[in-house]
Chains A and B, each alone.
Chain A
Amino acid sequence: MTPLLEVRDLKAGYGPIEVLHGFDLAVNEGEVVVVLGANGAGKTTTIRAISGTIARRGDVTFAGQKISHASPDAIVRAGIAQVPQGRGTFVDLTVEDNLRVGAYVRDDDPQPDIDRWFEVFPRLEERSSQKAGSLSGGEQQMLAIARALMSRPRLVLCDEPSLGLAPIIVQELFRTLSRLNQEEGTSILLVEQNANLAMEIAHRAYLLETGTIVASGDAKEMLDNDAIRKAYLGY
Chain B
Amino acid sequence: MISDFLQYLFDGLSAGAIYSLLALGLVIVYRGTGHLNFAQGEMAMLSAFLAWWLSDNWLPIWVAVFICAAFGFALGAVVERVIIRPIGQRSIFAVGVAAIGLLLGINALAPFIWKVTHPEGFESLFPKKPTDFVTIGGAHWRYENIGVLVVMLIVAGLLYLLFQKTKLGLAMRAVASNPESAPLAGIKTGQVLMMSWGLAAAAGAIGGCMVATLRGNVEPSMMLAIFFSATAAAMLGGFDSLLGAVVAGLLLGVIESMGAGYQPDVIGPELKGSLSLIIILIVLLFRPSGLFGSKRVERV
Contacts and interface: CB of A to CB of B under 8 A. Distances in A.
Interface stretch (A36-44, A89-97, A168-176, A227-235): A89-97
Nearest to A140: B299
A189 B185 CA distance: 17
B184 A104 contact: no
B285 interface: no
B118 interface: no
Interface residues of B, number: 23
B135 interface: no
A134 B299 contact: yes
Contacts of B46: none
A122 interface: no
Contacts of A53: 183-184
B178 A73 contact: no
A180 B174 CA distance: 26
Q: Is the interface of A mostly helix, strand, loop or mixed?
A: mixed
B165 to A, nearest CB: 11
A71 B189 CA distance: 11
Interface residues of A, number: 33
Interface string B257-300: 00000000000000000000000000000000000001011111
A137 B186 contact: no
B81 interface: no
Interface string B175-189: 011101111111110
Contacts of A68: none
Given A104-B167, A151-B186, A92 B173 contact: yes
Given A97-B170, A101-B170, A88 B300 contact: no
Contact of A76 (B167, B173, B185): B185
Given A90-B174, A91-B178, A93-B173, A73 B186 contact: yes
Contacts of B299: 133-137, 140
A96 B90 CA distance: 35
Given A97-B173, A101-B171, A101-B174, A134 B297 contact: yes
Given A91-B298, A164-B300, A72 B171 contact: no
Interface string B80-113: 0000000000000000000000000000000000
Contacts of A136: 299
Contacts of B176: 92
A105 B188 CA distance: 10
Interface string A121-150: 000000000010111110010000001100
B170 A72 contact: no
A102 interface: yes
A54 B176 CA distance: 21
Interface of A: 51, 53, 71-73, 76-77, 81-82, 84, 88-93, 97, 100-102, 104-105, 131, 133-137, 140, 147-148, 151, 164
Interface of B: 167, 170-171, 173-174, 176-178, 180-188, 294, 296-300
24 contacts: A51-B184, A71-B188, A72-B184, A72-B186, A73-B187, A76-B183, A76-B185, A88-B180, A88-B184, A89-B178, A90-B174, A90-B177, A91-B297, A93-B173, A93-B177, A97-B170, A101-B170, A104-B174, A104-B187, A105-B186, A133-B299, A147-B185, A151-B185, A164-B300
Given A71-B188, A137-B300, 10 more contacts: A82-B184, A84-B181, A88-B178, A89-B178, A89-B181, A104-B170, A104-B171, A133-B298, A134-B297, A135-B299
